[in-house]
Structure 1
Amino acid sequence: MSDTTSIPSSAPSETYPSSCHCGHIKFDVTLSPPLSQQQVMNCNCSICQRAGYLLVLTWHNSSRSRCATYLFNSKTRHQLFCPKCGISIGIDFKDTTFPASRRNHYGISVRIFNNINLDILTYHKYDGVGAVPPNGKDLSGIQWEIDEAERLEKEKGKSS
């Protein structure tokens, strides 16, 4: 998912082998500066908390073909995950209203980097709750209700 051509050859960088749990999604992430010199984003928004995201930004190169996606709230940021094991990969910031400096990036969770010690990383707390407020709808249970209605409709069609 990284685009190493975007990194100047003189800049210090490091490449991190990464994968989901089952190995269906495998890729290398090249960061400049290296992870040890970056602050990892620890966001308090609902999706980052539930998915366990600890994000670093890397260049977008449209290489997410094996990832499944999920949209929520403002429907502007594709949450990327493995369709086989369900592991959260990160967030696609390509089509967001964020500043241009962040728009052509993936937010990749360092939790999928192989052999990373999370205890030695430096974290930056980001107030995602304050930056992107909820859309005001109470969505508790709504997907279950939609799924149940579809199931009942299919059963009704089979019995006809």
Structure 2
Amino acid sequence: MTTYSGNCHCGLVKFTITLPGSIYDHNIANCNCSHCARNGSLFIYFPTKEIKYYSGEADLKGYSASFGFKVVEHMFCPQCGSSTGWKCIEPRIDNFPGVEAVNVRMLNNVDIEKLKLGPFDGRTKIGGEYELGKWYEKIQEKVEKEV
């Protein structure tokens, strides 16, 4: 078992995760859902019992209400905005009960270029098109109708 320390950018949220073996032996999800793609998040999944918070857990804010099937809650630091990971709020994604994910970009001393990155089709599994992302198209349609 290997323990990795992590924190948000400002240090309010501090935690460790414990994984079997090295993080470089695990598959890291490069999710294509609208939220992860915009934040550049790269996730490692692990049992919830393997994360230990040293500070900031109670301060974390969640975001889930505005996209997809609303089955995961993306967690972020309210002070610096770092996207720290996600928690399942409805265990229906690939049978993920009791599983969390940490954005490996929050982990200390991890070489991102050496990770085994793989695609995760969150756009399909987590859900739907991000409607607010189409705001420009809607403005363009309105402008074209006025002309």
Check whether TM > 0.5: yes
State the Cα deviation string for residues 106-153 of structure 1 (Å, max 9, x = none). Answer: 111100001211011111111212323316x833599xxxxxxxxxxx
Equivalent AA in structure 1 for residue 109 of structure 2: N
The residue number in structure 2 matching 1:83 is 78
Counterpart for residue 42 of structure 1: 30
CA contact (8 A) 1:94 1:106 kept: no
In the other structure, the counterpart of 1:123 is 117
> Which residue among 58, 65, 72 is the counterpart of 1:65?
58
Cα deviation, 1:50-109, whole Å, max 9, x if unaligned, reads 121100012224964221111132222111000100000011024231243x22111111
CA distance in 1, matches of 2:109, 2:121: 28
**Residue pair 2:31, 2:121 contacting (<8 A) in 1 also:** yes
Equivalent residue of 1:65, what SS?
A: helix
Q: Which residue of 2 aligns with 1:106?
A: 100
Q: Is the 2:33–2:127 contact (alpha carbons within 8 Å) kept by the matching residues of 1?
A: no
Match of 2:127 in 1: 133
Please state how far the C-alpha of 1:34 moved relative to its aligned partner: 2.1
Structure 2: give runs of 5+ residues left out of the alignment: 136-147
| TM-score of the aligned structures, taking structure 2 as reference length | 0.77
Match of 1:92 in 2: 87
Asked if the contact 2:71/2:93 (under 8 Å) is kept, the reply is no
CA radius of gyration, larger in = 1
Q: Which amino acid aligns with 1:51?
A: N
Q: Secondary structure at the match of 1:139?
A: helix
Q: Would the aligned equivalents of 1:94 and 1:103 in 2 still touch at CA under 8 Å?
A: no
Point out the structure with the larger strand share.
2
Percent identity, aligned pairs only, is 28
Structure 1: unaligned runs, 5 residues or longer:
1-12, 143-160
What letter corresponds to residue 23 of structure 1 in structure 2?
Answer: G
Task: Give yes or no for contact 1:44–1:128 (8 Å, CA) kept in 2.
Answer: yes
Q: TM-score, normalised by structure 1?
A: 0.71
Kindly tell me: are residues 140 and 124 of structure 1, through their superposed partners in 2, closer, same or farther at Cα, counting changes over 3 Å?
closer
Task: Please state how far the C-alpha of 1:32 moved relative to its aligned partner.
Answer: 1.3
What is the alpha-carbon distance in structure 1 between the residues aligned to residue 134 and residue 81 of structure 2?
Answer: 20
Aligned-pair CA distance for 1:24: 0.2
Counterpart residue identity of residue 112, structure 1: M
